[in-house]
Amino acid sequence: MASIQLQTAIPGPRSRELFATREQQVAPGPFHTTPLVAAHAEGAVITDVDGNRFLDFTSGIGVTNLGHRDPAVMVAVAKQAEQFVHTSINVVAYAGYIQVAERLNALLPEAAPCKTFLANSGAEAVENAVKFARAATGRQAVIAFEHGYHGRTYMAMALTAKAHPYKSGFAPFPAEVYRAAYPDFYRWPGVAGEVGSCPGASDGTCQLSRCLCREAFAAFAEMARAQIGEANVAAVIIEPVAGEGGFIPAPAPFLRMLREWCDEHGVVLIFDEVQTGFGRTGSLLACQQLGVTPDLVVMAKGLANGLPLSAVTGRAAVIDAVGLGGVGGTYCGNPLACAAALAVLDRFDDPSVLAHAQQLGKRLKQRLEAWAERFPVIGQARGLGPMRAIELVSDRESKTPDKAAAQAVVRYAYEHGVILMACGTHGNVLRFLVPLTLDFEQLDEGLAVIENGLKSLG
């Protein structure tokens, strides 16, 4: 049976009605990718209030990586709800928090001994990672990257690169944040058309006549030396694959050079794995396949498959720098969310889960690269594992971003039963955040709709 089943025009009457009320009652700030209102969700399918069934190719922005209402996660949450839902870790501790910390610490054996702090959202964990780094180094400056996205709180906004809509009108931002060029080799100065990423990403040696990783690193190091002074840098924060910025993987050699630079200068290297985590790139964390270990890793989204939970995990020497009472929050590491995270981590202990994610990634890669040959509107198909995207341009030579085309395909997709999101500094990238439990028939069913969306661009 097909997953997609549409009974009404999209959006249906009940969705329209609720959206009209939303307009009157709800702050207009939160964006909406679709005009749909959910009634039920299971696996890769969301059913709306009008009874229409959609394939969800967003996983709630990279959260429900194991699919909606994963049965093991639901059982764990229900069981916890029968015991207690809140005591606050600051008042009466509970095993779930401690066990999640233990499990996350084990993910970074090269950084052992590790410790973990739990919070609620990705932005909150980013904030706290910066606190740990500043406390541990006694320094102030933090270097973030172009295309970086780290959340909506003030420090997270300051670290985020894109002004509109994330930052416009909200200044002033916290000081001592500096920005380096991200290794986006599709748009790197002087690089024409074809070079998508450094070949060294796979085998560890740069093979281009121009080593772009070294160029990007040299630009970074020079900025840090000239504008900040290495001895003033507390932390460098980077997404191993720029997520909101356009699904741009940072090549492993570049990350290795950053690692060496941080070691040389006593700087805390933070990987923001909020979007890349929990199988999204084909490994539990992206850093595990890139062979570069950060001092701190920030996690959220897929960690609890839909319950709000985030974490900062890393070197005990850094985490221990913040003393008793220095970080925290009433809801941090909520018991229901911890129960969900433990179930998520158990699910990933089964190697077939990541193996399937990798297969999905391969199939997606093949399909998107084939589209790139066929549709001139696609400037580049790229990604890491199943975290994949296509960047749309109105002209391949000039690489002029085509945001309108991306919006048109997103709209075509939901009108025909697939929920899809755009991203990118220029809003012109179609990203695929499919549930990692999606079966191949569902993948093909959803891709057929999106392919028709691309065809409809004319």
Ligand X SMILES: Cc1ncc(COP(=O)(O)O)c(C=O)c1O
The footprint of ligand X on residues 133-192 (CB under 6 A) is 149-151
How many residues form the binding site for ligand X (CB under 6 A)?
Answer: 15
The footprint of ligand X on residues 220-279 (CB under 6 A) is 239, 243-244, 272, 274-275
Residue 57 vs 149, nearer CB to ligand X: 149
Going by C-alpha positions, the residue among 272, 225, 267, 236 that lies closest to residue 138 is 267
Residue 151 vs 385, nearer CB to ligand X: 151
314 DSSP β-pair partners? 115, 296
Question: What is the CB-side half-sphere exposure of residue 28 using CA atoms within 13 A?
Answer: 4
Question: Judged by CB under 6 A, which of 300, 312, 343, 354 binds ligand X?
Answer: 300
* CA 239/CA 237 separation, integer angstroms: 7
Residue 161 vs 377, nearer CB to ligand X: 161
Residue 10 vs 433, nearer CB to ligand X: 433
The four Cα atoms 436, 440, 445, 451 give a dihedral, to 10 degrees, of: 80
Residue 235 vs 372, nearer CB to ligand X: 235
Going by C-alpha positions, the residue among 289, 295, 268, 280 that lies closest to residue 348 is 280
The footprint of ligand X on residues 95-124 (CB under 6 A) is 121-123
Give yes or no for residue 126 binding ligand X (CB under 6 A).
yes
- The sheet with strand 45-48 has its strands ordered as 38-42, 45-48, 53-56, 418-419
* Least separation in angstroms between CB 306 and ligand X: 12
* Least separation in angstroms between CB 234 and ligand X: 18
| E strands, 120-209, in order | 141-145, 177-180
Q: Which residue is nearest to ligand X (CB)?
A: 122
Question: What is the CB-side half-sphere exposure of residue 251 using CA atoms within 13 A?
Answer: 27
Give yes or no for residue 77 binding ligand X (CB under 6 A).
no
Give yes or no for residue 94 binding ligand X (CB under 6 A).
no
| Size (the chain), residues | 458
* Least separation in angstroms between CB 236 and ligand X: 15
The footprint of ligand X on residues 370-409 (CB under 6 A) is none
| Residue 395 CB contacts under 8 Å (≥ 6 apart), including other chains | none
* Least separation in angstroms between CB 151 and ligand X: 3
* Least separation in angstroms between CB 454 and ligand X: 25
Unique residue bearing structure tokens 């570069």: 292
* CA 73/CA 345 separation, integer angstroms: 10
* Least separation in angstroms between CB 421 and ligand X: 11
* Least separation in angstroms between CB 193 and ligand X: 28
> Residues in the site for ligand X, rule: CB under 6 A?
61, 121-123, 126, 149-151, 239, 243-244, 272, 274-275, 300
